[in-house]
């Protein structure tokens, strides 16, 4: 309650503090709104956005893109609150505003068309025909951007849903196939995005009188779910990395391999491939520095080797994400925590206890975050002292 009162007081005093302030102050309010939205406090989020809207009008005018962004955000909140009439009205206001002040070929406007179509297709009084009109407009405009990406897939899937409810079943099938093909290309056929849409495809096939194809879609769904359960995913092909340039070109693929390795049991079918890929990439790249102290080196014996791979994988993961090759305490902390999750998430039962990791595991069992951070600091400092003493990095970089 105190936090809400402080927030309200801050918002009341803000206009007096604005005066010479620019977009930075408006962006700060949006950050508050984003936080409320993530906490699903949509009503309070709208109140904050109303304050922001007043400031945008006063200091930037309705012609600024911040005004459109504010309306778009408000519409999303009302949609989440299932106040579809308000969501539609504000979304339409946003579209009208953009049309008056900006190019209708820009991505922000096109995605708002799709949002508006979604709002039109929901509630007690949906207008599927109008929803299809705006959805098709969004697709035609987005196609001109020549981007076969996630957003185009979502537009296609929204068109499929509205076509289904408009009882245009052949169109529903057509758009659904298009949308999930994009997902298959982007994420692979074992991805949650692709697999999750197959049930809708089957439903649309049934409605269009194509029972055989509907059953084929359901059979494929069951097959892929079983394979996912067995740890089969669509991983990049193995590469013999020879240059740092090759490593840079395959950062995204490396992250896929790292995510697979660190999120699966060692019994999963593609763990050997993922392990080999990670070790080859890490041995050639200049995008990460991995230091290995005397105690970390114990992971490299045959019995504990999977955890050496996990340590290296987590170091690479952090370095790629942060775009920094430095061996920092934050990188080491990330590596230890990811390796611990890998160990305690079921792999300990497969390999038996690992002495190095048990030291950290005991602290985790006590749920003492400060003690864990202190232990991580201790081991990081030991590595750095060993490097300082020897005069050269330990392990590889």
Adjacent-strand bridge partners of 291: 395
Q: Assess if residue 15 is contained within a domain.
A: no
Residues 196 and 275 in one domain: no
14 pLDDT band, cuts 50/70/90, is low
Residues 202 and 89 in one domain: no
Residues 38 and 142 in one domain: no
Q: Assess if residue 163 is contained within a domain.
A: yes
**CA distance linking residue 397 with residue 394, whole number of Å:** 9
**CA distance linking residue 312 with residue 328, whole number of Å:** 14
Query: What is residue 18's predicted lDDT score, i.e. its pLDDT?
Result: 44
Cα dihedral 56/57/63/64 (nearest 10): -10
Where residue 215 sits, what CATH number does that domain have? 1.25.40.10
Q: Assess if residue 68 is contained within a domain.
A: yes
Reduced to 3 states (helix: H, G, I; strand: E, B; else coil), residue 290 is strand
Residues 297 and 340 in one domain: yes
Alpha helices in the chain (DSSP H): 2-18, 23-38, 42-59, 65-80, 84-101, 107-120, 128-143, 150-165, 169-187, 192-207, 211-229, 244-249, 251-262, 271-284, 305-322, 329-342, 348-351, 355-365, 369-390
Q: Assess if residue 91 is contained within a domain.
A: yes
Q: Assess if residue 283 is contained within a domain.
A: yes
Residues 221 and 345 in one domain: no
Residues 279 and 304 in one domain: yes
Domain hosting residue 272, numbered range: 244-396
* Per-residue pLDDT tens over the stretch 93-127: 999 999 999 999 999 999 999 999 999 999 999 99
Query: What is residue 317's predicted lDDT score, i.e. its pLDDT?
Result: 98
Nearest CA to 354 out of 285, 308, 286, 388 is that of: 308
Please return the burial class of 289, using the count of CB atoms within 10 Å of its CB with bins 0-12, 13-18 and 19+: middle
Residues 224 and 248 in one domain: no
Q: Assess if residue 235 is contained within a domain.
A: no
Query: Model-level pTM?
Result: 0.71
Provide the number of structural domains found in the chain. 3
* Per-residue pLDDT tens over the stretch 339-393: 999 999 999 999 999 999 999 998 887 777 889 999 999 999 999 999 888 765 5
First to last CA, the chain: 51
Exposure b/e, 290-303, CB count within 10 A at least 16 = b: bbbbeebebbeeee
Q: Assess if residue 166 is contained within a domain.
A: yes
Instruction: Return the residue matching tokens 């505003």.
Output: 97
Q: Assess if residue 362 is contained within a domain.
A: yes
Residues 281 and 371 in one domain: yes
């Amino acid at each position: 309650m105190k936090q809400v009162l402080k927030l309200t007081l801050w918002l009341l005093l803000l206009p007096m503090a604005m005066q010479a302030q620019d977009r930075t102050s408006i962006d700060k309010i949006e950050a508050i709104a984003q936080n409320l939205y993530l906490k699903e406090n949509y009503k309070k989020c709208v109140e904050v956005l109303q304050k922001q809207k007043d400031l945008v009008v006063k200091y930037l005018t309705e012609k600024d893109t911040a005004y459109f962004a504010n309306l778009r955000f408000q519409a999303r909140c009302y949609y989440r609150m299932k106040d579809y009439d308000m969501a539609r009205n504000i979304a339409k206001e946003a579209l009208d505003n953009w049309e008056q002040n900006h190019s209708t070929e820009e991505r922000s406007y096109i995605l708002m068309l799709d949002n508006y179509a979604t709002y039109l297709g929901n509630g007690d009084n949906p207008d599927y025909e109008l929803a299809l009109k705006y959805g098709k407009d969004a697709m035609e405009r987005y196609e001109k951007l020549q981007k076969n990406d996630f957003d185009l897939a979502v537009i296609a899937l929204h068109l499929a849903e509205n076509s289904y409810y408009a009882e245009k079943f052949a169109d529903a099938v057509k758009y659904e196939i298009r949308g999930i093909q994009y997902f298959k290309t982007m994420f692979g056929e074992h991805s949650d995005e692709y697999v999750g849409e197959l049930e809708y495809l089957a439903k649309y096939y049934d409605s269009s009188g194509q029972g055989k194809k509907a059953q084929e879609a359901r059979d494929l769904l069951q097959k892929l779910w079983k394979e996912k359960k067995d740890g089969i995913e669509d991983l990049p092909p193995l590469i013999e990395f020879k240059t740092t340039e090759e490593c840079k070109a395959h950062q995204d693929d490396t992250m896929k391999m790292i995510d697979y390795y660190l999120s699966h049991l060692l019994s999963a079918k593609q763990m050997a491939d993922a392990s080999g890929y990670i070790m080859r990439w890490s041995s050639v790249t200049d995008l990460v520095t991995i230091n290995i102290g005397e105690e970390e080196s114990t992971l490299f014996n045959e019995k504990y080797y999977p955890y050496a791979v996990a340590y290296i994988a987590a170091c690479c993961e952090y370095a790629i994400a942060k775009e920094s090759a430095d061996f920092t305490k934050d990188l080491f902390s990330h590596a230890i925590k990811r390796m611990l999750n890998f160990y305690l998430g079921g792999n300990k039962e497969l390999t038996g206890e690992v002495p190095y990791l048990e030291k950290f595991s005991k602290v985790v069992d006590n749920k003492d975050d400060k003690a864990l951070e202190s232990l991580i600091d201790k081991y990081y400092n030991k590595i750095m002292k060993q490097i300082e003493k020897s005069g050269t990095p330990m392990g590889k970089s």
